[in-house]
Amino acid sequence: MKDKMMKNTATTLSGLAVAAVLAAAITPAAQAADSAPQVEKCYGVAKAGMNDCKAGPGTTCAATSKVDGQSDAWILTPKGLCGKLVGGSLKSS
C-alpha cells in the first residue's frame, strides 16, 4: 500500500513538473505576441527619400520617394497614429 501511494505521488509530481515546464515555455511566446508593436502603413507623410518601401511606379523600395508627402509613399507608424497626422492616410492615392 505504501509503495502504491509513493508511486502515485511520484507520478503526480512528474505530471506537475511537465505542466510547469510547458507553461514556462508557452508564456514567453504569448507575451511576445501581446507585446509586439502594432503598426500600419501610413501614406502621404514620408519626407522625400525617407519612405519605408515602394513608392509607386518608377520606384523600387525604401528611400525612393521624390517629394515630401508623396501620396503613394508610405512609412510604418504605430497603429492609430496615421489618422492623426496631417496628410496621413491608410490608403495610397
Query: Span 59-68, mean pLDDT?
Result: 84
Q: Is the dihedral of CA 41, 42, 44, 46 positive or negative?
A: negative
Q: Kindly indicate the confidence band of residue 53, based on its pLDDT and cuts at 50, 70 and 90.
A: confident
Q: Kindly indicate the confidence band of residue 43, based on its pLDDT and cuts at 50, 70 and 90.
A: very high
Distance CA 29, CA 62 (A): 30
Q: Between these two residues, 90 and 6, which has the higher pLDDT value?
A: 90
State the pLDDT at residue 24.
Answer: 56
Domain ranges of the chain: 1-36, 37-93
Q: Between these two residues, 56 and 37, which has the higher pLDDT value?
A: 37
